[in-house]
Amino acid sequence: MRAFPDTTALRDPRALDDLLLYRLWRAMRAGSGMATRIAEGGFGITHREWGMIGMLAQVGEIGPSALAVQLQLDRVRTSRGLRSLFEKRLIERRQDSEDRREVHVRLSETGRQLFDDMFPRISALNIDLLEGLDAENHDTFLQCLRELELHSTALNARFAASEKSERRLDGTRHRWSGQSNESPRRHF
């Protein structure tokens, strides 16, 4: 990984390491890998399930669609995660008394206990990550991060990338867009 001599590389990228999203992804991946090991190895839940548990601890009871919006996940992934959490008895479901089709979810006592046990470990990891920055840069970093989040949301709303993935149709995971439908010849 090359270091940036200054921010001109961000404004005129010439290599992968000059791309802001790539740099953010690398930093996030390293930190989230540690969080995933804590979640999966220490508590038997996925990183996504941890996000749902954390959000439920924060907001209390919520509908699945509203939870998906809060977590910026699609409804299918949210539904799968909630089903898994329900099977693990970490959440409870409640039907709305006025609209029986509407369901609300909240942490069960077991889910609350898991959150209470896990949050200090994840919190400590986050504090350790911040120690990589000088203390006087923390406010600037958080301000820049917030501005990036807001601008990313605005770009996304304006459909800055009009392409859509076709994962449901066995898309880019198994075939890239420049590939023909013919089977490749094996020459190796």
Q: Give the pLDDT of residue 186.
A: 56
**Gap between the Cα atoms of 114 and 106, Å rounded:** 13
pLDDT in tens, 89-137: 999 999 877 877 889 999 999 999 999 999 999 999 999 998 988 989 9
Model confidence at 30, pLDDT cuts 50, 70, 90, reads: confident
Helix, strand, or coil here: 41?
Answer: helix
Report which of residues 44 and 163 the model is more confident about.
44
Contact 107, 24 (CB under 8 A): no
Q: For the residues 143-165, what does the mean pLDDT come to?
A: 83
Helix, strand, or coil here: 164?
Answer: coil
Q: Is the pLDDT of residue 188 over 50?
A: no
Q: Give the pLDDT of residue 153.
A: 86
Contact 36, 43 (CB under 8 A): no
Contacts of 36 (CB under 8 A, 6+ apart): 46, 47
Q: Give the pLDDT of residue 173.
A: 57
**Gap between the Cα atoms of 146 and 150, Å rounded:** 6
pLDDT in tens, 46-79: 999 999 999 999 999 999 999 999 998 999 999 9
